[in-house]
Structure 1
Amino acid sequence: MKWLKSLVVAGAVQVLALAGAHAGANLDKIKQTGVFRIGTEGTYAPFTYHDASGALTGFDVEIGREIAKRLGVKAEFLEGRWDGLIAGLDADRYDAVINQVGITEARKAKYDFSNPYIASKAVLIVRGDNDEIKSFADLKGKKSAQTLTSNFGKLAESSGAELVGTDGFDQSIQLVLNGRADATINDSLSFYDFKKHKPDANVKIAAQQENADYSGVIVKKGDPELVAAINKALDEIKADGAYQKIADIYFGQDVSQ
């Protein structure tokens, strides 16, 4: 049995050695290449979208650029559909995803998150002339336009809705407006931004969640050095006023709490 015990000990030592060798490897790579690769949708205003000139912009995009600046590198944004965005971390397509990714226990089991950088509430959006849906419970048997793997999609499904798959907020709103869906559950901040630009749009909030949801920067599991560096950058962004300036542009208020 001694040989077996020795083998176990040797294996444990090897695992620890490998862990030590890889600790901080991603952060080192980012600093060596001078690039912080960020996965994002590019279709989710006001967080990540393309402006009239075609340039990628948005609250999350600006936060990503500020994080990269404080890491001493350049932000490189790689766009993809939401349904495959987080999986891109496993494929090493990017170093982090900054795309209003809600911090959930299920995701934390497989990935690591930074500290929260924004808070929002889920709201139930219907046409302005819809008086039938007044609560989440009223979604039972109704069609709800959602990105299928999002927290909002799961909430709609748990409320008894039939999901109509979409690529993001804009498409979900359009399906509600044209009557192809009865409702959509989405981000309150996205809705307020939408109404700011299109105040006459025939949609309204029928209900909202009581508690706020928090989003963070999501990275591969087991990379505490990178998480710590991102958290430090977020602290600096909030302390020096950069966060407030970005929040004022997109929301007119602090959205961190």
Structure 2
Amino acid sequence: MKSPWGRCAFAVTAAVVATLAAACGSTASAAAPAQAPNLNDIVKQGTVRVCSTGDYRPFTYRDPQGQWSGIDIEMAQNMAQRLGVKLDLVPTTWGTMLGDLGTKCDMAMGGISVTLDRAQHALYSAPYLRDGKAAIVRCADRSKYPTLARIDQPGVRVVVNPDGTNADFDKANIHHATVVDFPDNNTIFSQLLDNKADVMITDASEVRWQTKANPQLCGESLDHPFTFEQKAYLIPQSDPVMQQWVDEWLNIAQNDGTYAAISQKWTGQVISAT
């Protein structure tokens, strides 16, 4: 049996399609480019495809056996359940995510920061978590890097995963230190532990997770990060109805204890968008 959320999705989508058809009239062209599956199609097919990188704990992780876990993996499971469809998790990368959105998947989830560049190419859900860039270093060297200015010095090695907002931040702010690309975001923190790099600048939420998992690593600027950021979910530009539904689901999940329980499980606290 489809959930009432699914039936609601049919009704909302039908109303939007009818309105657009009336407005366009005879100007609609049979040669118009194909659109990405919309909410109506997702409910009909019985599956929602969610792209995720699987390399950004505590939001998304895909282990060598292909098993997924994390805050946004559990949120995606809850979303699919309330929509009354199956969840299909699709691996993507930070560099290909926008291209995969609307072709390989219907949404993207997994610690995705809200940026103006991404907003030019996709719709965002309402934000669900506030974040910002902070530093993670070896605890033994913590006193050396209390500020961004002390990090950006000759001889300091700043390791970064390419193609994401960490790389964008380093490009804009690191001018004197040496930036070292490391392609595997799942193992990048070993570069600090093995003394192959001195600092990594990433989101405070990831720093908290990694310092909890690795007692030799410590965070800097967690309470006063270098930037203001928020996390949200990405939706194709062609599906504003999906965006509206996701916002309504997210609002309910944030107020009925669903998000709080998942956030507490993975971070030890409830981190909100404000």
Unaligned runs of 5+ in 1: 1-11
Identity of aligned residues (%): 22
Corresponding residue for residue 99 of structure 1: 110
1:193 aligns to 2:209 (yes or no) = yes
Query: Which deviations, in whole Å up to 9, do the C-alpha atoms of 1:187-220 show, x marking residues without a partner?
Result: 2222222222332x2x222335255410111011
Does the 8 Å CA contact 2:36/2:236 hold for their aligned counterparts? Answer: no
Write the mapping of 1:64-79 to structure 2, written as runs, cut at 5 A: 64-79=76-91
Moved over 6 A (4+): 21-24
Q: SS in structure 1 opposite 2:56?
A: coil
- Greater shift, 112-121 or 138-147, is seen at 138-147
Deviates more, 1:190-199 or 1:204-213: 204-213
- After superposition, the C-alpha distances for 1:50-88 in whole angstroms (9 at most, x for unaligned) are 469863111010111111122221211011232222321
* 2:246 matched residue in structure 1: 230
Q: Distance in 1 between matches of 2:64 and 2:194?
A: 24
CA RMSD of aligned residues (A): 2.7
TM-score between the two structures when normalised by the length of structure 1 = 0.83
SS in 1 for 2:144: coil
User: 2: distance between equivalents of 1:184 and 1:45?
Assistant: 15
Q: CA separation of 1:16/1:146 partners in 2, compared to 1, >3 Å: closer, same or farther?
A: farther
Gaps of 5+ in 2: 1-23
Q: Is 1:150 equivalent to 2:161 in the alignment?
A: no
Aligned counterpart for 1:139 among listed residues 109, 134, 151: 151
- Residue 22 of structure 1 deviates from its aligned partner by 8.2
Name the structure 2 match of 1:206: 220
Shift of 1:242: 0.9
Which one of the candidate residues 129, 133, 136 is aligned to 1:122?
133
Matched residue, 1:113: 124
TM-score by length of 2: 0.78
Report the counterpart of residue 179 of structure 1 in structure 2.
195
| TM-superposition CA deviations, 1:14-70 (whole Å, max 9, x none) | 55678xx98995111110111110011122221111469863111010111111122
